[in-house]
């Protein structure tokens, strides 16, 4: 992937922040003894071309030092071969395939950005009916604002593949789908064909991300869900992950990682999230544990899933009650803020990195802590309790 600079992500730390010489002083010691002032000043002068030392010493010793808490963010590395300071999320030299990116919203796109910010090469699989619009939007620059990485460069997507993970091979595709005009002009988009193309083009990958979910009857209560609707939800939302990993694992480098996305409805009752989708997410989490064992033992691949909170994405809005769930989370989660897609992307970058080398078979909650709550504290029942609120 060709970019202006190769970025990586550094872990947050506390550093003194002095406005007059921030870049130099932040990499220096936080305190000066009387004896070392002169030597320290000489080093600073030679490295930053500061012509007058008096204002500098006044700013350090006559004014209080302000401390600023730095958040985790991606930073450009001036030299790819230079060791990164601190404890970096470094994915340089890694290749990631993200299945299920069709626009610049949603968790799939955010994960792609975070992986790219950490240095990974990005290739994606897009649902065939959405492929033309997605590729056209990329070419015309509609996603350019969303592609901006922390170092100012744009995320590059090396290649976009047509994909429909509901079908494992051409023999599985029904005639009505083959003749559907939305699939016209695209070929080799079943799972086995897709993986073969990736193998021919790139040889191998290191990271597999599953960002797929679909339930044609999601708005129906489970008691009213048809067999076909239920099985369709399972097929698209959970077995597709099994199928993709089954085929991709043969071309994944040892030490690689696979990540999927789940939802708290797999463990808790979420009225309105029906059509078998809660069952599909429960299956996905169970499969994560089993696949972690099998892929770990046979291929040294880690398998984890992220249980993400509600997001204002196009896909989520189709469910019909996403605004309500966001408001509920803001009112009841330990952290009273709206979840951002970037926060999920950053968690995925961590899980894909060597920093998470011993984490597999896990459900990682990125939902402002809502999963930990046993009750909704916005209920009138708790009105007399002294519950802190973010006003």
Taking residues 343-372, report their average pLDDT. Answer: 97
> Residue 113: inside a domain, yes or no?
yes
> Residue 222: inside a domain, yes or no?
yes
What's the confidence (pLDDT) of residue 128?
97
Q: In sequence order, what are the beta bridge partners of 123?
A: 97, 159
To which residue do tokens 């009841």 refer?
A: 332
What's the confidence (pLDDT) of residue 317?
64
> Residue 53: inside a domain, yes or no?
no
27: exposed, middle or buried (Cβ count in 10 Å: 0-12, 13-18, 19+): exposed
Q: What angle, rounded to 10 degrees, do the helices at 227-234 and 277-299 form?
A: 30
Task: Give tens-digit pLDDT for 43-86.
Answer: 433 333 333 444 433 443 344 444 343 344 444 444 566 666 77
Q: Which of 281, 268, 304 is nearest to 212 (CA)?
A: 281
Dihedral (CA of 232, 215, 123, 175) sign? positive
> Residue 74: inside a domain, yes or no?
no
Q: Which domain holds residue 199?
A: 95-370
Q: Which of 246, 248, 218, 232 is nearest to 166 (CA)?
A: 232
Question: Is the pLDDT assigned to residue 374 strictly greater than 70?
Answer: yes
What's the confidence (pLDDT) of residue 391?
61
> Residue 135: inside a domain, yes or no?
yes
Q: What is the CATH number of the domain that holds 340?
A: 3.40.50.720
Task: Give tens-digit pLDDT for 294-338.
Answer: 999 999 999 999 999 998 766 666 666 788 888 999 999 999 999
> Residue 386: inside a domain, yes or no?
no
> Residue 224: inside a domain, yes or no?
yes
Around Cβ 111, how many Cβ atoms within 10 Å? 31
Question: Is the pLDDT assigned to residue 152 strictly greater than 90?
Answer: yes
> b/e for 132-165, b at 16 or more Cβ within 10 A?
eebeebeeeeebeebbebbbebbbebeebbbbbb
Q: Report how many domains make up the chain.
A: 1
> Residue 242: inside a domain, yes or no?
yes
Asked if 387 and 379 count as a contact pair (C-beta separation under 8 A), the reply is: no
Taking residues 172-190, report their average pLDDT. Answer: 95
- Compute φ and ψ for 350, nearest 5 degrees: -60, -50
Q: What is the torsion angle, in degrees rounded to the nearest 10, for the CA atoms of residue 155, residue 250, residue 163 and residue 312?
A: -50
Cα→Cα distances 210→8, 124, 161, 230, 242, Å: 23, 10, 14, 20, 10
What average pLDDT is seen over the chain?
83
Active site residues per annotation: 238, 281
Question: Out of 263-272, 285-294, 321-330, which region has the weakest mean confidence (pLDDT)?
Answer: 321-330
What's the confidence (pLDDT) of residue 179?
94
What's the confidence (pLDDT) of residue 20?
37
Taking residues 126-146, report their average pLDDT. Answer: 96
């Amino acid at each position: 992937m060709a970019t202006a600079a190769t970025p990586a992500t550094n872990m947050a730390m506390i550093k003194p922040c002095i406005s007059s010489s921030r870049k130099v002083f932040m990499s220096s010691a936080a305190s000066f003894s009387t004896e070392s002032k002169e030597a320290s000043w000489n080093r600073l002068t030679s490295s930053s071309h500061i012509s007058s030392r008096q204002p500098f010493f006044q700013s350090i010793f006559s004014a209080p030092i302000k401390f600023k808490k730095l958040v985790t963010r991606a930073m450009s590395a001036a030299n790819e071969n230079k060791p990164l300071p601190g404890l970096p999320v470094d994915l340089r030299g890694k290749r990631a395939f993200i299945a299920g990116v069709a626009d610049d919203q949603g968790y799939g796109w955010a994960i792609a950005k975070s992986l790219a910010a950490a240095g990974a090469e990005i290739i994606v699989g897009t649902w065939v009916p959405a492929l033309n619009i997605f590729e056209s939007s990329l070419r015309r620059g509609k996603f350019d604002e969303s592609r901006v990485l922390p170092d100012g460069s744009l995320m590059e997507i090396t290649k976009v593949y047509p994909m429909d993970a509901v079908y494992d091979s051409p023999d599985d595709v029904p005639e009505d789908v083959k003749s559907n005009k939305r699939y016209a002009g695209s070929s080799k988009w079943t799972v086995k064909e897709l993986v073969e193309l990736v193998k021919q083009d790139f040889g191998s990958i290191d990271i597999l991300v599953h960002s797929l979910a679909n339930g044609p009857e999601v708005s129906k209560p489970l008691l009213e869900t048809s067999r076909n609707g239920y099985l369709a939800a399972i097929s698209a939302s959970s077995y597709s992950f099994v199928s993709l990993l089954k085929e991709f694992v043969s071309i994944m480098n040892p030490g690689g990682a696979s990540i999927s996305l789940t939802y708290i409805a797999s463990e808790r009752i979420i009225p309105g999230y029906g059509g078998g989708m809660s069952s599909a997410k429960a299956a996905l989490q169970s499969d994560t544990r089993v696949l972690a064992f099998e892929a770990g033992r046979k291929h040294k691949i880690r398998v984890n899933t992220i249980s993400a909170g509600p997001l204002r994405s196009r896909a989520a809005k189709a469910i019909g009650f996403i605004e309500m769930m966001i408001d509920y989370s803001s009112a009841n989660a330990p952290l009273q803020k709206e979840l951002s897609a970037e926060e999920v992307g950053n968690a995925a970058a961590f899980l894909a990195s060597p920093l998470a080398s011993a984490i597999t078979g896990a459900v990682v909650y990125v939902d402002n802590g809502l999963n930990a709550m046993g009750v909704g504290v916005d209920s009138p029942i708790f009105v007399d309790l002294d519950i802190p609120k973010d006003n």
